Structures are given as C-alpha cells and as structure tokens.
Amino acid sequence: MSVRIDVLTIFPDYLAPLGLSLVGKAREAGILDLHVHDLRNWTTDRHRTVDDTPFGGGAGMVMRADVWGTALDEILTPDAHLLLPTPSGQVFAQPTAHALAAETHLVVACGRYEGIDARVAEHYRAAGVRVSELSLGDYVLNGGEVAALVVVEAVARLLPGVVGNPESLVEESHGEAGLLEYPVFTKPPTWRGLDVPDVLLSGHHARIARWRRDEALRRTAARRPDMLEALDPAALDARDREV
C-alpha cells in the first residue's frame, strides 16, 4: 500500500524539504512515491515560457493552459486526483487529509503569479478527472508550493507505517474528537517557577484523562469557538457541559 504523489512546479527546489524527516523516511521506506517535476520541461519555446498577460486586462500574469495541458496529459493516470492549490479553493482541513491518504495517485499542480488559466480545471473535470481546488486559509501566498508541502506532509503522516506510534495520531488537534489538543508537559517537573499540573504526576489514569478532556474543551472554547459549535452535542457528556 503506497501512494504516488507528483508535484508540478516552476520551483522544484521549493520542495527540497520533502527529502527530510518523516516524509523523507516514508519515501525511503517505499510508503510514499513522491516525484517533483519542473513545469518548464513541458515548454516548447526558447524562453521556456509558462505565463502570459491576462485576457481582459489587469495586473500580473496568468499561467498558460497549453503548457499545463501538455504536462498534465503526461502525468495524470486514470485513478489520479488533481489538486490545484489556490487561495480561492476550499480550505484544506484534516478530513480532506484523511480522504487523500486513502488515494493511490495525487497530482499537485502549483500555480504562480495570478494563477492558472481557468480552463485547465474545467477541461480535466469535463474529462472525468477528480479536481480539487484547495486553499491553506484566508491569506495570500505567492504560489502553490507551500500548499504542496502542507498537503504532502499532512497526507504522508497518515499513511500506515510513517508515524512510528499510530497512537500519536489519535489524540491530536483536529482529530476525531473535534477538539484542540490538551497542553502537554515533560521533565523537569519545575521550570522557572512553573510546576507541571499535579494531576499529571498522580499516576491516576482516569483523573488524568478527565483533566485532559477538560483542558481540551477549555482551549477549544477560548481559541476556536467555531469548532465547539460544530461538535455533535451527543459527543459531549454531562461533565463536559460543566467545563
């Protein structure tokens, strides 16, 4: 069971960190088959042009559909899911990471400048390719490369065998509980006058679990009231409601 991911970009060096850390190890272990391609390899002119001025006028440049089409025709396979990072996409979140981790082939097409000619998404959708336009959040970046890093890391760590202890995936922020994670502590028990909460040193597993749940609820209420609103009321017990 391995996932193939192809990333197309005019800045392949931007993706160099994907050789490091857990993602790098997943690649070495054959769990993740990642390929980064230079879009300019599919240009045909002397200047290796990938962009042009926008029809209708306006600032900036638009990436050409013909260059992207030649590249994607070669890279896409029948089971591929095409991901187009763009600030006008749907916000990428953990449920999408889980869904993508169950795929066999992801192709990430990184736009730059003002974006990719809109006919690229339209053409591949009409051809039956699953196309998802994804945003990282409500701010503007210079291109899709950082989003490609984010998607590859978020997906790779969900592949079986990448994160050493699968339990690390269970109690994390944006996990199944729909809450932010509780605060964590390690040695020393006192640091600069600050003590680790007594309950965590008590060895009393039920009390520790209750304390962590309370902290997760308090944090989520303070920082992300939208997440608390979205919780299924049936997921809250009587004690939760007191917090």
Q: For residue 203, give every residue at least 6 positions away whose Cβ sits within 8 Å of its Cβ, in sequence order, or none.
A: none
Site for ligand 6GU contains 34 (CB under 6 A): no
Q: Does 15 bind ligand 6GU (CB under 6 A)?
A: no
Choosing from 5, 143, 154, 158, the residue that interacts with ligand 6GU (CB under 6 A) is: 143
Residue closer to ligand 6GU, measured from CB, 140 or 194: 140
| Diameter over CA atoms, the chain | 70
22 is an interface residue for ligand 6GU by CB under 6 A? no
Handedness of CA 185, 187, 189, 195 (dihedral sign): negative
* Smallest distance, ligand 6GU to C-beta of residue 12, A: 17
Tokens 């931007």 belong to 14
- Write the DSSP assignment of 53-70 as a string of letters: PPTT--SS-EE-HHHHHH
Q: Does 24 belong to an annotated binding site? A: no
Number of residues in contact with ligand 6GU under rule CB under 6 A: 13
Cβ atoms of residues 57 and 73 within 8 Å? no
To ligand 6GU, the closest distance from the beta carbon of 151 in angstroms equals: 9
Bridge partners, residue 135, by sequence: 91
Task: Give the footprint of ligand 6GU on this chain (CB under 6 A).
Answer: 85-87, 134-137, 139-141, 143-144, 147
Q: Which residues are annotated as a binding site for S-adenosyl-L-methionine?
A: 111, 136-141
